[in-house]
Amino acid sequence: MRVPEITAIFWTIKILTTGMGETLSDFLGTHGNELINGAAIVLVFVAVFVVQFRMRRYVAGVYWACVAMVSVLGTVVADVAHAAGIPYWITSIVFLVAVATILALWRRTTGSLDVHTITERTPERYYWATVMATFALGTALGDLTAATLHLGYLASTIGFGIAILIPLVAWRWGLSPVVAFWIAYILTRPLGASAADWLADPRYKSGLGIGTGPVTAVWLTAIVGLVSYLAVRQRRSVADHRQLSRTSA
């Protein structure tokens, strides 16, 4: 497989990357030159994906570096659209259509949207395109509830936290696991971003005022710790498999 197993650690890191991407993007937007920062984001984004597509299998560090950069770039894309004067409800609809279109093309081309079947380049390309679109969609949705609907970050965090449980419950009652996965995947973005904004943004914006820098640092540290754990476990699994193969031979 070219993507990780869907476990509790997967969802935890996914939510952490969404929040980290949100606050890092905001931090870079207020520190340094915007043009230089934007160019750096694009260059790092391209670099990690070049490495990812050269890998023959899933590698924890590389995969999650890609997710982190998608989070940062997805935030920038949604923020630029809003800065251009496009309301959040319109960008939410546009990105929702984009997600639906990519999924439809993916299903028509490969016959399956199951991430467990991603072993070749073509479905992997559709997978990452979907991931990018879901991040942009999630960013727009989170800003829509917090700003346009005036719910604030805490209420948005609670709302999306409850919403993300719905596909889990529906899956237990017979909803397709593929459908449940992608619904939850989309919701991780506004959940993580709303939580991070609540912690980082000043009080007049309904936040706690901790700051984008400290929140980014703490969430990034947590991500690195969990990904390092997965990398060590992956290396041990490969070593055990090789040892078993030698013993069997």
Q: Is the pLDDT of residue 243 over 70?
A: no
Mean residue pLDDT of the chain comes to: 88
Which band of pLDDT confidence, cut at 50, 70 and 90, is reported for residue 214? Answer: very high
Q: What's the Cα-to-Cα distance from 60 to each of 21, 226, 227, rounded to whole Å?
A: 18, 10, 6
Place of tokens 């694009």: 42
What's the mean pLDDT in 177-191? 91
Q: What is the C-alpha separation between 140 and 18, in angstroms, rounded?
A: 13
**What pLDDT score does 80 carry?**
78
Yes or no: say if 67 and 16 are a contact pair by the CB < 8 Å rule: no
Q: Sign of the C-alpha dihedral, residues 19, 25, 31, 32?
A: positive
Domain boundaries along the sequence of the chain: 8-248
Q: State the amino acid at position 82 in one-letter form.
A: H
Q: Collect all residues with Cβ–Cβ distance below 8 Å to 191 and sequence separation of at least 6.
A: 15, 18, 142, 157, 160, 161, 163, 164
Of residues 148 and 226, the one with the higher pLDDT is: 226
Q: What is the C-alpha separation between 68 and 165, in angstroms, rounded?
A: 23
What's the mean pLDDT in 185-212? 91
**What pLDDT score does 241 carry?**
55
